[in-house]
Amino acid sequence: MAQPDSEQPDGLIHALLLDGAGAARTLEWREVGAWQPEQGCLWLHFNYEAEASRRWLDERSGLIDVAVNGLVMDETRPRTITRGDNLLMALRGVNLNPGSDPEDMVSLRLWCNGQKVISTCRRPLLSTHDILERLQDGAGPHNAAELLVAWIDGIVARMADTVDGFEDAALELEDVLLTGQLGSLRHDLAHLRKQTITVRRYLAPQREAFNRLTAEAIGWIDDLNRLRLREITDRQIRHIEDIDAVRERTAVAQDEMVGRLSEQMNERMYVLSLVAAIFLPLGFFTGLMGINVGGMPGVEDGFAFWVVVLLCVGAAGLLMAWFRFRRWL
């Protein structure tokens, strides 16, 4: 391992030495430089936004350029890259930090050779805290393979509540649609579809990253941990399928909403058309009676007005009877 700088990088989150029995010990920075593989698995966790961390990874970590770029790249999609027993992974987990949106997914990057783990992140990931708590209780991972599996397992497990939340939201929107209350339904449907599309954007390549991880012949991942990774991959696939189902349900709900809005508009236009059809001949008749020219019948007759009213009422009644006969009313 390359010798570290004399001072600890500002972006170092923790430096832990796994004791092989489920616990870990925090190392001083000088102890990191003196670490040997026979002491146990070394786990260095950095904030890649800190300039000191980037400089140490680039100049002092001993990693090749591809690994360093993968650990400090600002934007990356989930992927798995292997070279012999060296593993580089980029993962995404749902953002469960307070005040954050789940679809604003948190990125995690790690490099491992079976003896040492170097990981970077920008925002905290709850699955990382889960592992740290287990290590404090003495029930954590024993080696690098178990650390990797536990981390991936935590990331996928934390997605379950978010996916269930999507399904519950879709069910609530469907209930609102059935009641006919379409006030904010369009906005809520669009927001839910945006969330599911954003989450699936990262889950699909992450599934492929898991598949490649289980398929690669990495010496320090034994058969038992490989089986665990396959089980985690299956759960990841189920989450993707559930999200796809939510997207389809929201699409159906949106089509139904558009259909109902069109139906309401057609009903209103239909009523207006009937009203216009009834009053159009009446308007013509009354307009004709209002011409100020000589020779208009009934000008001198005091009952002529009521005759005209009766004629208009009779004409309207005949039109309505005709519409009902044709089943237009």
The alpha carbon of 323 is separated from its chain's Cα centroid by a whole number of angstroms, namely: 52
What residues contact 110, with CB distance under 8 A and at least 6 apart? 71, 87, 88, 89, 91, 117, 118, 119, 120, 148, 151
Task: Dig out the tokens for 255 from the structure.
Answer: 């089509």
Confidence grade of residue 325 (pLDDT, cut at 50, 70, 90): confident
Which tens digits make up the pLDDT trace of 8-60? 888 999 999 999 999 999 999 999 988 999 999 999 999 999 999 999 999 88
Which tens digits make up the pLDDT trace of 235-272? 999 999 999 999 999 888 888 888 877 877 888 888 78
Q: Which amino acid is at 225?
A: N
Q: What is the CATH number of domain 12-259?
A: 3.30.460.20
pLDDT at 1: 46
Starting at the earlier edge strand, list the strands of the sheet with 12-18: 24-26, 12-18, 42-47, 116-121, 106-112, 86-93, 79-83
Least confident segment among 76-90, 105-119, 167-181:
167-181
Query: Model pTM?
Result: 0.78
Name the residue ranges covered by the structural domains of the chain.
12-259, 290-325
* Dihedral sign computed on CA atoms, order 28, 32, 38, 40: positive
CA–CA distance, 78 with 90 (Å, rounded to integer) = 5
Provide the 3-class DSSP secondary structure of residue 97: coil
State the pairing for strand pair 12-18/116-121: unpaired
Distances (CA, A) of 170 to 76, 135, 188: 30, 38, 9
Confidence grade of residue 293 (pLDDT, cut at 50, 70, 90): low
